[in-house]
Structure 1
Amino acid sequence: MSLPIRPAVQASPDYPFSAITAPVKLDQNESFADFPDELKAIALQRLHTLPWHRYTDLHAEALCDAVARHEDWASSGTVVTTGSNVLISLLVQLAGMGARVLTVKPNFALYGLDAQLLGASLTEVPLRPDFSTDVDALIAALGEAPGRGVVFVPRPHAPTGSLCELDELERLAQACRDGWLLVIDEAYHHFTEHDARALARRHPHVVLLRTFSKAWGLAGLRLGYALAGDDVARQLRKLVPPFGVSVLQTVCALVALENPGYLRQRIALTLSERARVFEALRSHPQWEVIPSQANFLLVRTPDAEQAHAALLAQGVLVRRQDRLHGLEGCLRVTVGTVAENDAFLRAAGLSP
């Protein structure tokens, strides 16, 4: 029996992740702490008073309004969905199908996977040896046929933690004016000083992606959003499934947005711990730690498989990245709690 499945789907690999259980979990760049108990209680009380037999907002309008106020953005240009990964797929559908997806290499796996699944031509431009973004090469690649589609640039970059400078992104945005959407994936923007909102305000073809899964500590909630110009947001909304954001997601995110103090405290601790772990790793006799602007550190080891196994044997789970372009020997380590970071450093043979 032949199943009616498109060849592009059959040829696509599975998402590259296998769940592993360990006492110290530093492999997925989540927040080091759960959503605060007192805020959970507020959200649960609100949920108790709301009807569950009615559909929620068509396109999460109330949540879009709250996100827009928090981000100093227009509600009409704010699009909320069940994760920024969903928006990546929708943006490929919006502008990349039958055209191109252009990004850097290495990158977040979904840029390439969605390009393949949706029939877009994929071009990946390698990072420079120092992991900086080669904007000149990206601009040159824009001229290849067909000259339209979507450009994805993560800022900060995952999995290296590097940061494309805003003046370089301005050059890229200028070059993308005809036929291209420039999507700046800001999943980790909380952990760096400057974001790209001003750039997106100047250029209606620039879209920012953000998430509740990292600094907000709501990865299990599955919510992300786009900040875009009104015209792009209106077209993007056509691709978003109606009533897709549940009442549970809406209420929890609204409570978070109303109480951002916990977010600021966690960011400050993450930055402090990132600096402490970075300095400790610099003394490792065999490992090289890479400066990062995100909530993780990239570490190059002589043998990633051996290093990963040795850490796991001591109860510390990190993420192998050595199969990615230019990351031979590399592991990615999430910045965790003080105790988790100490456990990682001890497992790495360093005194915390």
Structure 2
Amino acid sequence: MTSSVLVDRLDPAAPALRAAVAGLPAYLAGRRSVSELTAALASNESHYPPLPSVVDVVREQALRINRYPDMGAVELRERIAAHLGATVDEIAVGPGSVGVLQQIVTALCDAGDEVVHAWRSFEAYPILVSLAGARSVGVPLRADESHDLDAMAAAITDRTRVVVLCSPNNPTGVSISAGELDRFLAGVPASVLVVLDEAYVEYATRPDTIDAMAVFRAHGNVCVLRTFSKAYGLAGLRVGYAVARPALADGLRRTGIPFAVSGLAQRAAIASLDAVGEMRDRVAAVVAERRRVTDALRSAGWQLPDSEANFVWLRADDTLRARLVDTLADADILVRGYAGDGVRISLADRATDDRVLAVLSDRGRFPD
């Protein structure tokens, strides 16, 4: 039987992908563990099990999965709004923060419009922009792995519709200071939406961390993007949200796929907000591990930035990157390599992190 791939190649009348889709790079998820002995540190998941109170709610809600969820996620939006000091009409939810970002790009960008973001940053950014027919404008990070906000401001043109700032940045972990952001926003046209992607904000500890809600209130062109996937540990349920001006938030709800956030996800997110104290205890443990791992790696001769997220970053060319990924894999440790840039290592429990440190304890094993 002739394969569909062969038919596509031989039959010019066969349905063809849009050029924007055919040219898209595939999103590369972190490699999954193949045994219980494997340390899966390639994806930025919480390495804690779900909170018991959240599990109880999910079990109860599982008996209702024959029913559609609330498409408007009204109760969840009400709880998020109360948690942040916002109003319910300022909240839009979606399947993870990346799903909400796709709603933002869909709502604002026509073909030929531009979205400015740092690079390297979250690899879904250029994919989502290309899907909308818009143009992705990646601005290189500075030598210290931080956003080059001056260069990003210079990259804004009359075709720019959105600027995405990932803070703390994935995969480098470096955050933007409140002062840097204030100076940047002062020069951004009011017609350009600035999205603060704060997927890892719960892990941020620097004294000058951005107060996103204060910035949102002070600037009419700012949108805050967050998720329950990281610190709250709901990566498998996919629920994120945006805080935006009511007209924009309404547009995001209109562009979202109907029923995209399941009833399980909505109830689990509400339960997670009820258990925010437990979440913060877990975050504190991750932050302590981050400090310990960073200090140990630096003592071993590695250079790495101060991460504000739940991972650490090693800048590496392709030769060193491949050596790091392969050597760690030989020790049953999966990490995330980025071609041309480096390696991201998610933080886990102390014993697992010690396995990483044992492999990387001798910087001399990994010549540049």
Query: Once the 2 structures are TM-superposed, how far is the Cα of residue 140 of structure 1 from its aligned partner?
Result: 1.4
Q: Deviations over 1:77-104 (max 9, x none)?
A: 0111111111121111111223111111
Structure 1 residues 46 and 58 mapped into 2: Cα distance closer, same or farther (>3 Å)?
A: closer
Q: Does 1:10 align with 2:49?
A: no
1:120 to 134, 140, 151: 134
Query: Once the 2 structures are TM-superposed, how far is the Cα of residue 307 of structure 1 from its aligned partner?
Result: 1.6
- Which residue of structure 1 aligns with residue 303 of structure 2? 288
> Number of paired residues?
340
- Which residue of structure 1 aligns with residue 124 of structure 2? 110
Moved more, 262-271 or 167-176: 167-176
Structure 1 residues 267 and 18 mapped into 2: Cα distance closer, same or farther (>3 Å)?
A: closer
3-state DSSP class of the match of 2:33? Answer: coil
Q: AA paired with 2:45?
A: E
2:326 to 306, 309, 314: 309
Structure 1 residues 178 and 254 mapped into 2: Cα distance closer, same or farther (>3 Å)?
A: closer
3-state DSSP class of the match of 1:308? Answer: helix
CA distance in 2, matches of 1:339, 1:70: 34
> Is contact 2:239-2:266 (8 Å) kept?
no
Query: Once the 2 structures are TM-superposed, how far is the Cα of residue 71 of structure 1 from its aligned partner?
Result: 2.0
- Which residue of structure 1 aligns with residue 103 of structure 2? 90
1:242 to 245, 252, 258: 258
Q: Deviations over 1:304-324 (max 9, x none)?
A: 111211111111111112x14
3-state DSSP class of the match of 1:289? Answer: coil
> Is contact 2:31-2:42 (8 Å) kept?
no
Q: AA paired with 2:163?
A: V
Query: Once the 2 structures are TM-superposed, how far is the Cα of residue 46 of structure 1 from its aligned partner?
Result: 4.9
Query: Once the 2 structures are TM-superposed, how far is the Cα of residue 53 of structure 1 from its aligned partner?
Result: 4.2
Percentage of identical aligned residues? 32
- Superposition TM-score, scaled by structure 1 size: 0.91
Structure 1 residues 45 and 203 mapped into 2: Cα distance closer, same or farther (>3 Å)?
A: same
CA distance in 2, matches of 1:319, 1:252: 28
Q: Does 1:257 align with 2:269?
A: no
Structure 1 runs (4+) deviating above 6 angstroms are: none
Moved more, 267-276 or 32-41: 32-41
Q: Please list, as runs of the form range in 1=range in 2, the aligned pairs for 1:133-152 lying within 5 A after superposition.
A: 133-142=147-156, 144-146=157-159, 148-152=160-164
2:75 to 62, 65, 70: 62
- Which residue of structure 1 aligns with residue 345 of structure 2? 333
> Is contact 1:59-1:245 (8 Å) kept?
no
Q: AA paired with 2:180?
A: E
CA distance in 2, matches of 1:32, 1:258: 20
Q: Deviations over 1:113-135 (max 9, x none)?
A: 11112111221111111122221
- Which residue of structure 2 aligns with residue 278 of structure 1? 294
3-state DSSP class of the match of 1:35? Answer: coil
CA distance in 2, matches of 1:122, 1:39: 38
> Is contact 1:201-1:229 (8 Å) kept?
no
- Which residue of structure 2 aligns with residue 224 of structure 1? 240
CA distance in 2, matches of 1:349, 1:135: 35
Q: Alignment RMSD, CA only?
A: 1.8
> Is contact 1:87-1:225 (8 Å) kept?
yes
CA distance in 2, matches of 1:169, 1:343: 37
Runs (5+) with no aligned partner, structure 1? none
Q: Does 1:75 align with 2:92?
A: no
- Which residue of structure 1 aligns with residue 366 of structure 2? none
Structure 1 residues 20 and 221 mapped into 2: Cα distance closer, same or farther (>3 Å)?
A: closer
> Is contact 2:30-2:335 (8 Å) kept?
no
Q: AA paired with 1:117?
A: L
Structure 1 residues 18 and 40 mapped into 2: Cα distance closer, same or farther (>3 Å)?
A: closer
Moved more, 21-30 or 264-273: 21-30
- Superposition TM-score, scaled by structure 2 size: 0.87
CA distance in 2, matches of 1:42, 1:88: 27
